[in-house]
Structure 1
Amino acid sequence: MKKIVILGAGISGIGAGYHLNEDKNNKVILFEKNNSWGGLCDNFTINGFRFDRFVHFSFTNNQEVRELFEKGSKSIKHIPNPSNYYKGTWLKHPAQNNLYPLSNEEKEKILCSFKRREDKEINEIRNYEEWLRIQYGNYFAENFPMEYTKKYWGVEAKELETKWVGSRMYKPTLEEVEQGMRTQDTPLTYYAKEMRYPVTGGYKSYLNYLVKDLNIRLNHEVKEIDTKNKVIYFTNNTQETYDELISSIPLSEMNKLLKNIPKNILEEIKKLRWTSGYIISLGLKNKNIPPYLWFYIYDKDIPFARIYSPSHKSSDNCPMGCSSLQLELYFENGKKINLSEKEVLEKSIQKLIEMKVIKEEDIIVRDIRFEKYANIIFDFNIYEAREAIKKYLKDIGIKTIGRFGEWDYFWSDQSLMSGIRIK
């Protein structure tokens, strides 16, 4: 029997465990550093309010993933209704073709700039800032996505390359921009037409079917991996041998877990960049919150980038008659905010009150949590660096999976399939 060890019981590790468990010749063990499984798909509960660790919906078109998720939990289906907050104004999403609420003066600046866009082939575009200017014109690019980039990615748009964009950013025609300035009656152009969320138990409920037969050992944080002798040492003074090793641990952590890494690989690890983040979770004693499932904030003086409503996703996420919000605040790992967690929490709440999203007297739960790993930063070093690191790990017998193990911009379905497709 082959003993397979999987490091990390997030969605990719669970996917790998489920897939490898199907072969009865395998003995599969998952080790998770936290006291519950799920990784960033996990959740926590405070006074009857359930909050996901970071924010999730399922909109996958992958039939295998949809079937596995439905075996874990029945779904609530939502038609996406995202919105945008910009200088006190609410705009339908995506903002670029839903500018009707803006003043005529600002609409004219956006339209004139849009008409004066450069015409370049995709292979001539040097960075994400240039991509934004070419797609939307200078005025819109500077005031909307370039400001949002600094809040979401923690860097200037010119520091990013563009392969990651894909279908995430809608590119309207001139006619669509003009129509969206004349009327709010515009078609849905969001990249997903339906969003799904579990009826009960939060997003991790989608994984219930996958984990039911898995051997998951919690509270096991890796201290060292000895690939020569195939032994893993944990911080709780236990150890485990393996025949095959699969890891969803971030590539950027490998220099702490492996000895005798070649200097060139250490240099590649140093090049990796990512965002960390705070999740601010609020429980409210009434339902007096905006109707949107989520919305984006562009104002530079407002620290958070996005807000979601767990209570809109499922009424199971809060007590009857109540509502809830979650705010995401990001920054590049290693950069200082110069505020304590308490100050970040209080400043964010004050901004929400100024935005007239909530009232101070309605808050009955307030919570802030730090996540070291939120998103990969797609700068110009990422592709060569991650391939060199992954090749080295493969050569010493470590297979990598998941958003941070593969160091890619994976949605939850892609992370799951990263594990399921492991060989």
Structure 2
Amino acid sequence: MEQINNLVLGAGISGLSCAFHLNKTQQQAIICEASNDWGGLCGNFSIQGFRFDKFVHFSFTENEYVKNLFTHNLEILVHKPELTNFYYGKWLKHPAQNNLQCLNFQEKVKIFLSFLTKPHITSTNYDEWLRVQYGNYFAEHFPMNYTRKYWGLEAKELETKWVGKRMRPITIKEMLQGLMHKKQKTLYYAKNMRYPQKGGFKSFLSVLAQKTDIRLNKKAVKINPTTKEVFFADGSRITYRNLISTIPLPEVIKLLPNVPASVQDAARKLRYTCGYMVSVALKKSYDFKGNLLFYVYDKEIPFARVYFPSIKAPDNVPAGASSLQAEIFFANDTPVPNKEIILTRTIQGLLATGIIQEKDILFTDIRFEPYANVIFDLQIYNNRKIVLDYLKHIQIIPAGRFGTWEYLWTDQCVLNGKNVAEQITGDNI
């Protein structure tokens, strides 16, 4: 039986960061990863010379420490955030609320009048927040439709602390200008979108992984916090001094013995999205009008957004080719259609937007990820606290998006792992 000072479960970005920073202080740290590769949702896969990330990823961090880590010994590409929105045959610059000039006159009037008469209330959920910000008509036809696609829920089922700068409020002056004139200025919250020239987004994590002891195909099946042992599917076990878990909270609770019923119930009530990735290889070079990605509001089209690996970096495709990936999300407690249905409807939706032609499709691929994002429903904070308090009680240290049950961007995941390492060592790393 192996004895380890610091055992990290999960080789996603937060687990890698935690082990990397522990090792910087000469603390022994290893990572056990259930799959056959490291990177987690920041990983990628390749088919016939086409590389696809697992969902869309860019780095737009302004944190100098993380920026330097990501770009260490890497050549990078810097993109301007040229993003668009597809709305029933119309292409609107992002964010949509500032770029409504291409809509017909009748719809513009409805949006503006609704904005003038928007409710002035203290919002208690995301539905009310959207109506307060944009008025009923725009809220119902744009972000509420997108909410169903991205979160798999109605907006009224979500709270609002997660929003932050992800949704841009708008003034009456900006609304009028956006309704009347085509805007050139980009109003996205990120100024630059960075991406490695080679190797996909995962290359940003290379500095974290290259000197780290990562044990692949090492799936934890049981944790005994009393004896401080982790048992693995291959029959091995490891004892630890400190256990850092990036495993999703509902899953780590299943690995523990004698969990109180109240904690099990809280873990079951934590909601999250799962999702399909439909990847499309194209034998023709498309420029996709220079867009990095676009969002979709049409109810009939299943995917929430589409990104273009070939625009992110030419290295992602063979010469003369191009590619895209569509993302389709579901709440974990709702029915998920089978992959054949999703694949068919997604290709039909892509063709309906007119961005590609069927004759140029070289191949398609569909993959499923059981955890895509944390859902911030109205009960999240109470249920999360119950689970995290229990893990603290049995001395398991949570880390990462799903380990702490937070809506973390990649730079925040790196800093989260660093903070955990500092918590363990007492050092300022």
Residue 312 of structure 1: aligned partner: 311
**Aligned 8 A contact 2:4 2:239 in 1:** no
Q: TM-score, normalised by structure 1?
A: 0.97
Establish whether residue 342 from structure 1 lines up as the match of residue 343 from structure 2.
Answer: no
Kept in 2: contact 1:293–1:313 (CA 8 A): yes
- In 2, the alpha carbon distance for the partners of 1:14 and 1:108 equals 51
Matched letter for residue 405 of structure 1? G
CA distance in 2, matches of 1:159, 1:376: 13
Q: Mark the CA change 1:270 to 1:2 in structure 2 (over 3 Å): closer, same or farther.
A: closer
**Match of 1:59, SS?**
coil
1:397 partnered with 2:395:
yes
C-alpha separation between the residues in 1 aligned to 2:325 and 2:62? 26
Matching residue within 377, 399, 404 for 1:406: 404
CA pair 72-418 structure 1, distance change in 2 beyond 3 A: farther
Q: Superposed, which structure 2 residues align to 1:149-160 within 5 Å?
A: 149-160=147-158
2:55 is the counterpart of 1:57 = no
* Contact 2:271–2:333 (8 Å) recurs in 1: no
Post-superposition Cα deviations, 1:132-187, rounded to whole Å, max 9, x if no partner, equal 00100000000000010000000000000111101100111111111111111342
Q: Counterpart of 2:28 in 1: which secondary structure?
A: strand
Aligned twin of 1:201: 199
Question: Which ranges of structure 2 fall in alignment gaps of 5 or more residues?
Answer: 424-429
Match for 1:131 among 115, 129, 132? 129
Match of 1:14 in 2: 16
Partner in structure 1 of residue 210 of structure 2: 212
What whole-Å deviation, never above 9, does each CA across 1:181-214 have from its counterpart, x for those lacking one? 1111342111001110011000010111111110
Answer yes or no: is the 8 Å Cα contact 1:72–1:207 preserved in 2.
Answer: no
**Secondary structure in 1 aligned to 2:72?**
helix
1:191 aligns with 2:211: no
2:25 is the counterpart of 1:23? yes
Q: CA deviation at 1:86?
A: 0.2
Which residue matches 2:427?
A: none
SS in 2 for 1:162: coil
Task: Report the CA distance between 1:415 and its aligned residue.
Answer: 1.0
Q: CA deviation at 1:72?
A: 5.2
Write out per-residue CA displacement over residues 14-35 of structure 1, whole angstroms, 9 at most, x where no aligned residue: 00011000122x2211000110
* 1:46–1:365 CA contact under 8 A, matched in 2: no
> Which residue type is aligned with residue 98 of structure 1?
N
Match of 1:145 in 2: 143
Could you tell me whether the CA contact under 8 Å between 1:72 and 1:206 is conserved in 2? no
Output the CA distance in 1 between the equivalents of 2:25 and 2:184. Answer: 51
In 1: Cα distance, 2:341 partner to 2:160 partner: 35
> What residue is the counterpart of 1:293 in the other structure?
292
Q: Give yes or no for the alignment of 1:93 onto 2:86.
A: no
2:70 alignment partner in structure 1:
69
Give me the whole-angstrom Cα distance separating, in 2, the residues matched to 1:232 and 1:255.
Answer: 13
CA distance in 1, matches of 2:415, 2:366: 31
Equivalent position of 1:40 in the other structure:
41
1:345 CA displacement: 0.8
- Give a deviation string over 1:361-395, Cα, whole Å, max 9, x none: 11112100000001111011111211221121011
Q: SS of the residue aligned with 1:242?
A: strand
- Cα distance, 1:3 vs. partner? 1.3
Aligned to 1:332: 331
Secondary structure (helix, strand or coil) at the match of 1:369 reads: strand
Unaligned runs of 5+ in 1: none
Q: Determine the C-alpha separation between the residues in 2 that align with 1:36 and 1:397.
A: 28
Would you say the 8 A contact 1:289–1:358 is kept in 2? no
Which region of structure 1 is more displaced relative to structure 2, 276-285 or 355-364?
355-364
Superposed CA deviations along residues 211-232 of structure 1, whole A, max 9, x for unmatched, are 1110000001110001111111
Instruction: Decide whether the 8 Å contact of 1:223 with 1:235 is kept in 2.
Output: yes
**Equivalent AA in structure 2 for residue 277 of structure 1:** G
Q: 2:166 aligns with which of 161, 165, 168?
A: 168
Hey, what's the Cα distance between the residues in 2 that align with 1:13 and 1:185?
42
**Aligned partner letter, 1:267:** D
Distance 1:254 1:20 in 2: 22
**In the TM superposition, what is the alpha-carbon distance from 1:118 to its structure 2 partner?**
1.8
Contact 1:131–1:162, Cα closer than 8 Å, also in 2: yes
Cα distance change of structure 1 residues 165 and 135 upon mapping to structure 2, 3 Å threshold: same
Aligned-partner Cα distance in 2 for 1:44–1:18: 24
**What is the alpha-carbon distance in structure 2 between the residues aligned to residue 228 and residue 117 of structure 1?**
56
SS at match of 2:288: coil
SS of the equivalent of 1:249 reads: coil
Deviations 1:328-363 (A, max 9, x none): 0000113213x3212211221011112212111111
Figure out how many residues of one structure are paired with residues of the other and give that number: 418
Q: 1:65 to 1:272 in 2, by over 3 A?
A: same
Q: Which moved more, 1:35-44 or 1:1-10?
A: 1-10
Query: Does the Cα contact within 8 Å between 2:149 and 2:330 map onto a contact in 1?
Result: yes
CA deviation after TM superposition for structure 1 residue 2, in Å: 6.3
* Contact kept? 2:4, 2:238, Cα under 8 Å: no
The CA deviation at 1:240 is: 1.2
CA distance in 1, matches of 2:244, 2:349: 43
Quick one: which amino acid aligns to residue 382 of structure 1? I
Matched, 1:321 2:320: yes
Q: Which runs of 4+ in 1 moved over 4 A?
A: none
1:367 and 2:365 aligned: yes
Contact 1:72 1:210 in 2 (8 A): no
Q: 1:103 — aligned with what?
A: 104
TM-score scaled by structure 2?
0.96
* RMSD between superposed Cα atoms in Å: 1.2
Query: Is the 8 Å Cα contact of residues 164 and 378 (structure 1) preserved in structure 2?
Result: yes
Give secondary structure in 2 for the equivalent of 1:163. coil
